[in-house]
């Protein structure tokens, strides 16, 4: 029998995980491969997590070999090949940015250190919990022996949102959309870039006008999270789970021939983005190896948008440095 792939998930009793765990367990991540789930929560949420585990049991998923739960990252992360860091401290009304960074800093320094000590050598760590890019930076920096490129943060949801908006506008399907790119931070400064995108083989920029791109498309994608909270009374969870599973699935495998995906990875200085920032780039992945798509032409508008998001991330990095978190 095959040794199961060990998959850690944090924030396992939360909203996103109520969808994510079932997607992973049913095979959306690794297909017909035996897996073991290692689920981390804070102590007060362990009882709720036991309920989620009961439901996972009741699905009788054929490839879900074992489930371990706990509140100690050093135990839960032991030997894991993949880690989904979903649990984070949400921003509450009246909370200062430094409070938010400090609270999340405590979570992601501890989890980075624990991964460093006990995870498998091939571990891939995907951060969904916000502020995702900077949380990834904190975890990666604190995992001193794990190469930084084993860490990434999620902008796939933004990528998927952008594909749907462009498909709708052009009267095509998402299957017709290729080469979508999200640059930068998973925040309102992100830059969804249609200038390299194609719809059914045509340049997207020839099919839509500039006013739509600037006044409709970009703000709709960047503010979609808020629109969902407004409509649903709760934040996007199922679509975030879907993006999370798709991102890791591609990262552990190969992106489709002739297309690329967006993913926030440590910058190597490509496109003038300061080195080391977790910045979303267009990437291709071949057998688990990630490469930034090179040679895209960047016009003045795109440059300004990309720089603004890099500036925000540099500010976040400076703030967590000042707090001694990295
Ligand atoms: P939620 O509040 O329903 O669940 C979060 C869970 O994390 C809670 O059960 C909490 O107990 C747990 N948690 C807190 N600290 C923890 C720790 N130290 N270790 C383990 N677990 C811990 O939130 P939801 O809706 O599941 O969202 C999770 C995160 O994902 C949030 O930060 C949210 O902002 C972010 N998010 C990111 C998106 C992206 O595209 N990158 C999209 C949507 C949400």
- Integer Cα distance of 255 and 262 in angstroms: 11
Distance 120 CA to ligand 1 centre (A): 24
Q: Is 107 in the pocket of ligand 1 (CB under 6 A)?
A: yes
Burial 153-183 (b: 16+ CB within 10 A, else e): bbbbbbbbbbbbbbbebbeeeeebbbbbbbb
Q: Best of 14, 18, 136 to mutate for ligand 1, by most ligand atoms within 8 A of CB?
A: 14
Distance 78 CA to ligand 1 centre (A): 21
Assigned CATH topology for domain 5-153: Rossmann fold (3.40.50)
Distance 16 CA to ligand 1 centre (A): 7
Domain boundaries defined on the chain: 5-153, 156-315
Q: Is 186 in the pocket of ligand 1 (CB under 6 A)?
A: yes
Distance 159 CA to ligand 1 centre (A): 20
ipTM of the complex: 0.99
Q: Are strands 35-40 and 5-10 parallel, antiparallel or unpaired?
A: parallel
What was the pLDDT predicted at 69? 98
Q: How many CB atoms lie within 10 A of CB 303?
A: 13
Q: Is 16 in the pocket of ligand 1 (CB under 6 A)?
A: yes
Beta bridge partners of 264: 153, 280
Strand order in the sheet with 177-178: 177-178, 198-199, 202-203
For residue 110, give the ligand 1 atom closest to its CA. Answer: 18
For residue 40, give the ligand 1 atom closest to its CA. Answer: 20
Comparison of pLDDT for 160 and 91, the residue scoring more: 160
- Integer Cα distance of 20 and 153 in angstroms: 16
The band of 211, judged by pLDDT with boundaries at 50, 70 and 90, is very high
DSSP code string of 106-146 = HHHHHHHHHHHHHS-TT-EEEE-SSSHHHHHHHHHHH-TTS
The vertex-148 CA angle with 147 and 152, nearest 5°, equals: 130
- By alpha-carbon position, which residue is closest to atom 16 of ligand 1? 87
Beta bridge partners of 153: 127, 264
For residue 260, pLDDT beyond 90: yes
Q: Are strands 198-199 and 202-203 parallel, antiparallel or unpaired?
A: antiparallel
End-to-end C-alpha distance for the chain, whole angstroms = 42
- By alpha-carbon position, which residue is closest to atom 4 of ligand 1? 14
- By alpha-carbon position, which residue is closest to atom 42 of ligand 1? 240
For residue 158, give the ligand 1 atom closest to its CA. Answer: 40
Give the mean model confidence (pLDDT) for residues 32-52. Answer: 98
Q: What is the percent of the chain with per-residue pLDDT over 70, rounded to a whole number? A: 100
The band of 1, judged by pLDDT with boundaries at 50, 70 and 90, is low
What was the pLDDT predicted at 189? 96
Q: What is the percent of the chain with per-residue pLDDT over 90, rounded to a whole number? A: 95
Assigned CATH topology for domain 156-315: L-2-Hydroxyisocaproate Dehydrogenase; Chain A, domain 2 (3.90.110)
What was the pLDDT predicted at 95? 81
What was the pLDDT predicted at 99? 84
For residue 97, pLDDT beyond 80: no
Average pLDDT, the chain: 96
Are 84 and 20 within 8 A, CB to CB?
yes
Query: Residues 6 or more apart from 218 whose CB is under 8 A from it?
Result: 191, 192, 305
Whether 186 is a known active-site residue: answer yes
For residue 16, give the ligand 1 atom closest to its CA. Answer: 26
Helix and strand numbers (H, E) in the chain are: 12, 14
Distance 199 CA to ligand 1 centre (A): 34
Count, residues in the chain: 326
Phi and psi based region of residue 88 (left: phi greater than 0; alpha: psi -120 to 50; beta: remaining): beta
- Integer Cα distance of 131 and 93 in angstroms: 16
Among the options 150, 159, 179, 186, which is catalytic? 186
Q: How many CB atoms lie within 10 A of CB 31?
A: 9
Are 146 and 116 within 8 A, CB to CB?
yes
The band of 309, judged by pLDDT with boundaries at 50, 70 and 90, is very high
């Amino acid at each position: 029998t095959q040794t199961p792939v060990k998959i850690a998930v944090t924030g396992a009793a939360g909203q996103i995980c109520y969808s994510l765990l079932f997607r992973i367990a049913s095979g959306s991540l690794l297909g017909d491969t035996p897996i073991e789930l290692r689920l981390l929560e804070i102590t007060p949420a362990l009882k709720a997590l036991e309920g989620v585990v009961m439901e996972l049991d009741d699905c009788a998923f054929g490839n879900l070999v074992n489930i371990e739960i706990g509140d100690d990252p050093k135990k839960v992360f032991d030997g894991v090949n993949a880690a989904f860091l979903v649990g984070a401290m949400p921003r509450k009304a009246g909370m200062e940015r430094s409070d938010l960074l400090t609270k999340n800093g405590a979570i992601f320094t501890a989890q980075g250190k624990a991964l460093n000590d006990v995870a498998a050598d091939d571990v891939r760590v995907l951060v969904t919990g916000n502020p995702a890019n900077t949380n990834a930076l904190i975890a990666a920096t604190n995992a001193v022996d794990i190469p930084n490129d084993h860490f990434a943060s999620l902008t796939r949801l933004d990528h998927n949102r952008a594909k749907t908006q462009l498909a709708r506008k052009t009267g095509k399907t998402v299957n017709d959309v290729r080469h979508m790119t999200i640059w930068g931070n998973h925040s309102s400064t992100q830059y969804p870039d249609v200038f390299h995108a194609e719809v059914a083989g045509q340049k997207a920029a020839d099919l839509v006008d500039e006013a739509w791109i600037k006044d409709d498309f970009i703000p709709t994608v960047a503010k979609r999270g808020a629109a969902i909270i407004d409509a649903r009374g709760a934040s996007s969870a199922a679509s975030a789970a879907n993006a999370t599973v798709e991102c890791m699935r591609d990262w552990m495998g190969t992106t489709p021939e002739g297309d690329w995906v967006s993913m926030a990875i440590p910058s190597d200085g490509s496109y003038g983005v300061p080195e080391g920032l977790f910045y979303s780039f267009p990437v291709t992945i071949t057998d688990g190896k990630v490469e930034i798509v090179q040679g895209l032409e960047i016009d003045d508008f795109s440059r300004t948008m990309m720089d603004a998001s890099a500036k925000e991330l540099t500010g976040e990095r400076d703030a967590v440095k000042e707090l001694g978190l990295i």
